[in-house]
Structure 1
């Protein structure tokens, strides 16, 4: 009888230990509320625009973007690491790049580059990466009056930047979209790089022709427009883009290094 009682007590103790051990090992599930809080929020309309162009998740899965802007004297080829924004713009007579620290310029011949490397080096990348570039950190979203052009109304989303973001945090943009397809159709923007002061003068680019690149809709052409009273009037030029490639492969870091004979932009 004593042995049976001892055996019963031993089994009971072991059973309690196992239950306690099982309760300790089990990890609590993260709450849905915390998961939602940790996600970056975008305006609902902007998310629809991202989706109409292939989706922000697809864009974020890519590590590099290369495109060629067609020019009469030879194409300008831009390659960008999408994660750290290191960039190379390879032109027939010059090359401009950023290694993440310095912006550099290399003249390939005797003709000197007359522009501003700090202004130009990522300018076309920024325009070309619309609308996905508008998911960057440091952006403030707001309402904008719609654009009416040739009898059609395009709703808009105003884009401004937190102080200190980029070379020209005072720049402002308005993305105008097709209310039926939610595809981007216009971009209005101000330029503050040279004056360092806020500007009310709008410039316009029109996005009408899109090409499918790895499941994303990226520009095949981009048109600049003359303006009157901050409204586009007629097309003044059109840029064409070819050999566009998005890749999940990380570009070779040495591509963006300062080459021999280059100068650092001041």
Structure 2
């Protein structure tokens, strides 16, 4: 009887060890499967991210809100940084985007001038530079530098894989200060309406920065004319206030499509 008891105990212990081993292997496999893939960014771009507070800090944030100061009425934007749901609140209209719709809700009888599908995240991408240049589906390459007022700014070209975003044919060039690695200029093409590749760059100069939760985000930027595919003269300035970054996600309810909204085509 004693021998039978010992045999059963041995079998039980072996079975428990085997189950524990299986669970450990399964847990390790699951962790490996869910681990985020390592991305390889150009060395200069990493230095730009670091000069603005670091990509790790940016990735820890879930919500971004800011107000763009405008003569005809300020525009307030809030974005879920993880799924890019967004609401843009203007004096006469509100535009939003969620996983199902891009929508336009009018506050009065004034017609919205423009295409909501083109407009809804346009300023967000300008504002969230340089960190949005770490998004998935981006192809990096070298770009020719530009010289402005005696300073030469090296460039990094950003293009997109087919099907990424509303205009995967767009190209961007980030130009950075060669000493501080702070972002200085953005060159970009517009293909949304023509659907054809363009080599003509438009330019925005990132003039002032503000520190929010450890990150350097733009406080003001200037649009420039283009002369010989280089910045020409300043034509407008955009100023941003009430900037908020949070590690807490915004309430999903604010992005839901209102019953009175039109769905953008």
Task: Calculate the TM-score normalised by the size of structure 1.
Answer: 0.87
Q: Aligned partners of 1:114 and 1:129: how far apart in 2?
A: 24
Partner of 2:133: 134
Q: How do residues 1-266 of structure 1 correspond to structure 2 at under 5 angstroms?
A: 38-266=37-265
| Alpha-carbon offset, residue 25 of structure 1 | 5.6
Deviations 1:133-153 (A, max 9, x none): 000000000000111111110
Q: Aligned partners of 2:246 and 2:204: how far apart in 1?
A: 26
- Partner SS, residue 118 of structure 2: helix
- Partner SS, residue 110 of structure 1: coil
User: Compared with structure 1, are the counterparts of its residues 95 and 229 closer, same or farther at alpha carbon in structure 2 (3 Å cutoff)?
Assistant: same
Q: Aligned partners of 1:44 and 1:182: how far apart in 2?
A: 11
Q: Aligned partners of 2:254 and 2:262: how far apart in 1?
A: 16
User: 4+ residue runs of structure 1 moved beyond 4 angstroms?
Assistant: 24-28, 34-37
- Partner SS, residue 83 of structure 1: coil
| Alpha-carbon offset, residue 37 of structure 1 | 9.9
- Partner SS, residue 207 of structure 1: strand
Q: Which runs of 5+ in 2 are unaligned?
A: 1-5
Deviations 1:224-257 (A, max 9, x none): 0011111111111000000000011111111011
Q: Aligned partners of 1:72 and 1:62: how far apart in 2?
A: 30
| Alpha-carbon offset, residue 38 of structure 1 | 3.7
| Alpha-carbon offset, residue 259 of structure 1 | 1.2
User: Compared with structure 1, are the counterparts of its residues 146 and 109 closer, same or farther at alpha carbon in structure 2 (3 Å cutoff)?
Assistant: same
- Partner SS, residue 64 of structure 2: strand
Q: Aligned partners of 1:100 and 1:129: how far apart in 2?
A: 20
Q: Aligned partners of 1:73 and 1:38: how far apart in 2?
A: 45
Q: Aligned partners of 1:80 and 1:38: how far apart in 2?
A: 24
Task: Calculate the TM-score normalised by the size of structure 2.
Answer: 0.88
Provide the aligned C-alpha RMSD in A.
Answer: 2.6
Partner of 1:4: none
- Partner SS, residue 124 of structure 2: helix
Structure number with greater Rg is: 1
Q: Aligned partners of 1:219 and 1:229: how far apart in 2?
A: 27
Q: Which runs of 5+ in 1 are unaligned?
A: 1-9
Q: Aligned partners of 1:73 and 1:249: how far apart in 2?
A: 32
- Partner SS, residue 186 of structure 2: strand
